[in-house]
């Protein structure tokens, strides 16, 4: 009887040891996977994109729009840099998801000559000063809440047509250092796809 | 026998736990196929008969395109654009009020914590109408802002034409 107890105790101890080893292994793999994911960028092959921009390979249409302080911002000012031109709006929920990614990617690639220009597509009643003031204030509030530190211009509808009629938001154009559109995304896409397109823009036009 | 069963079961659990963890499937960058398409359609009625000079309720049926949703009349956040029914002033007809349905809760897959109040599929507005005797054409409009699962579209207005016969 005592021998049986001893055997049972040994088996239970072995099982406990196996559980612990298994759990430790699982935890270690999980942490390793998380570390890998943090540094992982999936490069998207051209054929994987269902949507190919009609502007791809063409010069990005030039523009000059006001920022939130009334200062003119022109695309030409960014010649020599890779630019992510992102159309968004305050009422666009998917647009909000990208913003924290943009902030981190901007920080990550700024040293290589990368910049983001946010283009607000919110309606502006230019003929009604009071309404225009309120609408601008709403955009400013959104920009502050989202901590958008990159340049933001307003009145995106004014340049929607040359950019192919930007109808769904978010829409982003990736422009290389020579001002050529190298990629476009429509709707919310993965962070990896955005980063891959940023790299394309940085690599192009050198 | 019991100990052996316990041992086999425990080994199975341990092996399962130590199996290689799976990475989440890479997000497919599905592009919207409904770009620029009309998201909402006015279904019916085209004509209604109501008693003259008496307040009547007219039900207006709309349908949101499959895979799309629009903000309800009372979205949860101020930034979102509510659905509204716009009625021009016209002699002979008075639309005193419009009852909007309560929106259904919706969350984008990328933001499951944020609950939106939306209309999807078919929805009905109830317009409280009083008309003078005769035939009247009510030319109203529905203003809405639509989204699908990964894109949002600028606010739009669709016409709602209703022939009202008041007797």
d(CA B39, CA B146): 7
Chain B interface residues (partner A, CB cutoff 8 A): 3, 6-7, 10-11, 13-15, 17-18, 20-21, 23, 26-27, 29-32, 35-36, 79-81, 108, 110-111, 114, 116, 145, 147-148, 150-155
A43-60 per-residue burial string, b: 16 or more CB within 10 A, e: under 16: ebeeeebebebebbeeeb
User: Residue A55 in contact with residue A173, Cβ under 8 Å?
Assistant: yes
ipTM associated with this complex: 0.72
Domain presence at residue B81: yes
In this prediction, what percent of chain A has a pLDDT beyond 90? 67
State residue B26's pLDDT score: 28
The stretches in chain B having pLDDT less than 50 are 1, 6, 8-36
Per-residue pLDDT at A21: 84
Any long-range contacts for B44-48 (C-beta under 8 Å, 24+ apart)?
Answer: B45/B162, B46/B161, B46/B162, B46/B163, B47/B162, B47/B163, B47/B164, B47/B165, B48/B162, B48/B163, B48/B164, B48/B165
Q: Which residue, among A109, A110, A88, A114, has the nearest Cα to A176 in the 3D structure?
A: A114
pLDDT of residue A199: 97
What is the tens place of the pLDDT at every residue in A135-171? 999 999 999 999 999 999 999 989 999 999 998 999 9
Query: Which helix (DSSP H) or strand (DSSP E) does residue A201 occupy?
Result: helix A191-203
Q: Kindly identify which residue of chain B lies nearest to residue A188, measuring between CA atoms.
A: B150
pLDDT at position A51, please?
Answer: 66
- Length reported for chain A: 206
Task: State how far the alpha carbon of B37 is from the alpha carbons of A94, A138, B154, in Å.
Answer: 19, 28, 11
Let me know if residue B24 belongs to a domain. no
In a domain, B32, yes or no: no
| CB within 8 Å: A18 and B151 | no
B32-78 pLDDT, tens digit per residue, is: 444 445 899 999 999 999 999 999 999 999 999 999 999 999 999 88
Q: Is B38 within a domain?
A: no
Tell me how far apart the alpha carbons of residues A37 and A144 are, in angstroms, rounded to a whole number: 30
CA-CA distance, A76 to A59, in Å (whole number)? 11
For residue B131, is it within any domain?
yes
CATH number of the domain to which B72 belongs: 2.60.40.1250
What are the residue ranges spanned by the domains of chain A?
1-40, 52-203
CATH superfamily of A52-203: Glutaredoxin (3.40.30.10)
For A116, the token pair is 């983001």
pLDDT value for B138: 93
Give me the number of domains chain B comprises.
1
CB contact under 8 A, A91 and B79: yes
Q: Domain range spanning residue B109? A: 46-166
pLDDT in tens, A36-88: 555 555 445 554 445 677 888 999 999 999 999 999 999 999 999 999 999 99
Query: Would you state the pLDDT for residue B112?
Result: 85
| pLDDT 10s digits, A6-17 | 888 888 888 888
């Amino acid at each position: 009887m005592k021998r049986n107890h001893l055997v049972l105790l040994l088996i239970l101890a072995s099982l406990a040891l196996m559980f612990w080893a298994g759990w430790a292994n699982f935890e270690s793999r999980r942490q390793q996977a998380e570390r890998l994911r943090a540094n992982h960028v999936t490069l998207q092959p051209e054929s994987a994109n269902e949507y190919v921009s009609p502007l791809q390979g063409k010069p990005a249409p030039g523009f000059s729009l006001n920022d939130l302080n009334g200062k003119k911002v022109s695309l030409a000012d960014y010649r020599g840099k890779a630019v992510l031109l992102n159309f968004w709006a305050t009422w666009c929920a998917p647009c909000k998801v990208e913003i924290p990614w943009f902030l981190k990617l901007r920080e990550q690639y700024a040293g290589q000559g990368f910049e983001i220009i946010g283009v607000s597509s919110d309606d502006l009643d230019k003929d009604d000063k009071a309404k225009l003031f309120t609408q601008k204030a709403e955009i400013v509030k959104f920009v502050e809440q989202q901590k958008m530190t990159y340049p933001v211009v307003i009145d995106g509808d004014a340049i929607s047509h040359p950019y192919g009629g930007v109808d769904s938001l978010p829409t982003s154009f990736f422009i290389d250092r020579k001002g050529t559109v190298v990629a476009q995304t429509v709707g919310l896409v993965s962070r990896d796809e955005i980063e891959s397109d940023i790299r394309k823009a940085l690599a192009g036009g050198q | 026998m019991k100990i052996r069963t316990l041992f086999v079961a425990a080994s199975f659990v341990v092996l399962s736990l130590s199996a290689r963890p799976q990475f989440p499937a890479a997000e497919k960058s599905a592009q919207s196929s409904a770009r620029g398409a009309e998201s909402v359609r006015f279904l019916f009625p085209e004509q209604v008969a109501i008693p003259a000079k008496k307040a009547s309720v007219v039900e207006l049926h709309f349908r949101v395109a499959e895979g799309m949703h629009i903000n309800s009349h009372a979205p949860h956040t101020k930034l979102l654009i509510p659905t509204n029914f716009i009625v021009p002033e016209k002699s002979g007809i008075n639309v005193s009020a419009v009852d909007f349905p309560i929106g259904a809760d919706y969350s984008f897959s990328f933001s499951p914590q944020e609950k939106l109040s939306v209309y999807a599929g078919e929805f009905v507005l109830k317009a409280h109408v009083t008309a003078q005797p005769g035939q009247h054409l009510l030319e109203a409009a529905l203003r809405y802002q639509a989204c699908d699962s990964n894109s949002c579209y600028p606010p739009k207005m669709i016409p709602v034409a209703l022939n009202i016969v008041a007797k």
